[in-house]
Structure 1
Amino acid sequence: MKLRLFLLALFAILFFDSRGQLKPHEGYVQVKGGRIWYKIVGTGKGTPLLILHGGPGSRSCGDIAGYSALGNDRPVILYDQLGSGFSDRPTDTTLWVLPRFVDEVTALRKALNLKEINILGSSWGAAVVIEYMITRKPTGVKSVIFAGPLLGTARWIKDAQILLGQMPKKLQDTIHKYEDLKQYNAPAYVAATDSFYARYLEHKQYPAPKSPLCEGAKGFNTEVYNYMWGPTEFNCIGTLQTWTRIPDLHRITQPVLFIAGQYDEARPATMYEFQKMIKGSKVAIVPNAGHHKLQDNPEAYIGEIRKFLKGK
């Protein structure tokens, strides 16, 4: 008992300030398959904001500087999912299932004693968030933000095909040709897909500039992406092929914000359809931005999040 009390006291000294607020720091949490890395920024007194990055297989380091702008309001917690960034990188494919990624959220909340949080899921991170909300029915979640969200695979593919149909016919034909041939590394195919990404992924600059905060972090985990999704944005052949939580959106009772870029892969029109499924939910569209809103128009993106979280 004395040892337990000592450890609790040590935990409080290391991770909380005199007001009981989370201190800025970074560390690791053990989950099934390895350790996940997290970083806390900000000293504001508001309820912490937990952020889940996209992918599957991406990382959080490139977003730290942008989301730090919210740190005056509240602690902001970012972490790398297993297999990503500064987290451990196992090769066991049995780990690449959605429920295990949901387990990471539970483990992180427990390790950091996050009794109350706001939660933001970006792109694939939104899939983890909605699965967490629906299957775990967590307490203490004050609000949910779905940023350019993947909430159902078929709908994501439908949106991608709509956007592809708006590109020059020559590029469409090139993508369709090599998709049919399954030659995803063909130079012409790579160039055509880069053109898609330059329109709808990073609208102002593709690829995104490297962040100094990513020094030492592992790059995008294509093995996880290919296993769960597939080799291309336009067709899912991985384990997420039939996944959807769109029919369950109405079960979320917390305040919800859907936010997307004007030129987002997660199309603005789709955000308004989702809004109809959750009573009282809100939509914000970030002008002159693609899927990577934090890079394309950080002031407008952070401004909308700050406005939504006010008082939460």
Structure 2
Amino acid sequence: MKEGYIAVTGGNVYYKIVGDGSKTPIILLHGGPGGTHVPFMHLENLGNDRQVIFYDQLGSGKSDRPNDHSLWNIDRFVEELGQIREALGLSKLHILGHSWGTMLAASYLLNQPEGVQSIIFSSPCLSVPQWEKDQALHLKQLPEEVQEILSRCEREGTTDTEEYKTAMKEFNKRFVYRLDSKPKEMESPYAKSNSIVYNTMWGPSEFCTTGNLKGYDVTERLKEIQLPAMFTCGRYDEATPQTVEGYSHCLPGSIFHVYEQSAHLPYLEEPAEYIGRVRSFLDHVEKQ
């Protein structure tokens, strides 16, 4: 393993490289915004085949956390990814983005960077308006009293209360993470999300979008990403199978897969299946 820091616009970001396999490296774009690389821990197993590059985006994990809200926008994160590639000499690579990381990946790829061999859109959000429609349907599946609390708190601007956070857990255990416990590594302080980045760019919860990503939609431009692609999600994912399959149709020849026992975090809920699918896809691309 190799780790260190890279200077990017706004500060320094932490990176970790695992593996010494000779195949093309893969870089992982974590969820959030404001999340960390820690939940990707099982993907270290891909290191048998290739280098796996983990990094904490600026503002999260082991990276710097500058108190400058102007840094929390998608264009700067796209610039950051390019700076990391340059610093690590990644002339060729695969990209895997998860959730918010798929927004970052899509925006980066629409600039047509050279050397990218493939893209994996894991539980993608590529249209915030569509995401909001899907979550509205998910909310209707919650107990009526929970729906009432969530609606009232959002209406009154009290989404920072314990009442709202408790009600939000009912949504999360159905559509975000369905297992009873998380790996012990998730208890690390470095695994904790940065709520300031999340609120600035997204909003108070997965289903209430008020940040600067509201209105983001690259659906009509996905056809410009002329790369081998795989779209995946969980059966119970907030990124619904119907929506994700629709995205896959925008990229002819792409692969679509549903993890049958997962919600939004299949790399934690079904790690063996997830790693197997990723490895198989990358091998297929490289054989072509």
TM-score (structure 2 length as normaliser): 0.94
Give the CA deviation at 1:215. 4.3
Residue pair 1:62, 1:210 contacting (<8 A) in 2 also: no
Give the CA deviation at 1:219. 2.5
Residue pair 1:30, 1:36 contacting (<8 A) in 2 also: yes
Residue pair 1:257, 1:308 contacting (<8 A) in 2 also: yes
Give the CA deviation at 1:76. 0.6
**AA at the equivalent of 1:41:** V
Q: Does 1:269 align with 2:245?
A: no
- Structure 2 residue aligned with 1:187: 162
- Structure 2 residue aligned with 1:57: 34
- Structure 2 residue aligned with 1:17: none
Q: Does 1:102 align with 2:78?
A: yes
Q: CA RMSD in A?
A: 1.5
Give the gaps of 5 or more residues in structure 2. Answer: none
TM-score (structure 1 length as normaliser): 0.87
Q: Secondary structure at the match of 2:199?
A: helix
After superposition, what is the alpha-carbon deviation per residue over 1:141-190, rounded to whole angstroms, capped at 9, x for unaligned?
11000001121211111111111122222322222222222221333322
Residue pair 1:294, 1:301 contacting (<8 A) in 2 also: yes
CA radius of gyration, larger in = 1
- Structure 2 residue aligned with 1:231: 204
After superposition, what is the alpha-carbon deviation per residue over 1:219-260, rounded to whole angstroms, capped at 9, x for unaligned?
311111111111122221111112111111111110110011
| From 60, 67, 70, the counterpart of 1:84 | 60
- Structure 2 residue aligned with 1:203: 178
Distance 1:287 1:27 in 2: 37
Distance 2:189 2:204 in 1: 26
- Structure 1 residue aligned with 2:51: 75
| From 222, 227, 244, the counterpart of 2:217 | 244
After superposition, what is the alpha-carbon deviation per residue over 1:265-301, rounded to whole angstroms, capped at 9, x for unaligned?
1111111111111110111111211111111110111
**AA at the equivalent of 1:200:** F
| From 82, 89, 95, the counterpart of 1:113 | 89
Q: Secondary structure at the match of 1:211?
A: helix
| From 48, 55, 59, the counterpart of 2:25 | 48
Distance 2:65 2:6 in 1: 14
